[in-house]
Amino acid sequence: MAILKSEANPLRRVGPGFSRMVANLDNLMLVVCEFTNGPAEDPDPFHSHPHEQITYVEEGELFLFCGDEKHYLKKGDIYTIPSGLPHGIQVLSSKVRLIDCFTPLRDEFIEPGV
């Protein structure tokens, strides 16, 4: 069991206008993603991964792109991404905060010693 206090485990900047905080067990990962560089003129590039993903929109507005589909999402909405599905987002508000859950773990998100 672990308790991660926000003061001891702050969001870590991983790119311009993008920060995240990660918590994980052996088979499940939660990632808080915060975008502060919106609104964006264009969507982020599509990507895919072998992980299943469920995301809760905690704050802000965005477009979710999955294949040829485009979905407007706002605070309180949830979306799911099956393994291997190409997807991307476009941030529509000045700040967007997403809560992602992944299985299996996204090892590239785990920082040694954190």
d(CA 63, CA 106): 23
Mean pLDDT by 10 residues, the chain (114 residues): 83 94 94 97 96 98 95 98 97 98 94 65
pTM comes to 0.92
31 phi/psi in degrees, rounded to 5 = -130, 125
46: tokens are 């599509």
pLDDT of residue 6: 83
pLDDT of residue 22: 94
pLDDT of residue 2: 85
Cβ 71 vs Cβ 61: under 8 Å? no
pLDDT of residue 114: 52
pLDDT of residue 8: 79
- CATH topology for 18-84+94-106 is Jelly Rolls (2.60.120)
